[in-house]
Amino acid sequence: MNDRFDRDPEALAWARASIQHHIDKLARWEQQATENGNQEQAMQARWVKNYLDRSFIGGRGCVIAAFDERLPARRDMLDRAVPYGREAS
């Protein structure tokens, strides 16, 4: 993933909002399944919810996720980085 949308804060915000909508739906599904005593269904909803959050939203820890709000700044920092073994000019 390295295209023009990686640096577009509006595109990233749209993607995060779309994914967050699904995360919120899964959280409601997990809660309903728990209230209904269906632990297997609750566990499935929790797993998918956590996967989406970890893979696409990020925002915590050192992992930069696909639609992480820190992505544009991270891409700019990497562009300015000096490759290992080379002297800065």
pTM of the model: 0.67
Q: How many CA atoms lie within 13 A of 29 on its CB side?
A: 16
45-85 pLDDT tens trace: 999 999 898 887 875 666 566 666 666 566 666 666 666 66
Do residues 74 and 67 lie in contact, with contact meaning Cβ atoms separated by under 8 Å? no
Domain count, the chain: 1
Domain that holds residue 27: 21-78
31 part of a folded domain:
yes
State how far the alpha carbon of 36 is from the alpha carbons of 6, 49, 57, in Å. 41, 19, 29
8-23 pLDDT tens trace: 778 778 888 999 999 9
25 part of a folded domain:
yes
pLDDT at 23: 94
Q: How many CA atoms lie within 13 A of 67 on its CB side?
A: 15
pLDDT at 75: 62
Per-residue confidence band for 30, with pLDDT thresholds at 50, 70 and 90: very high
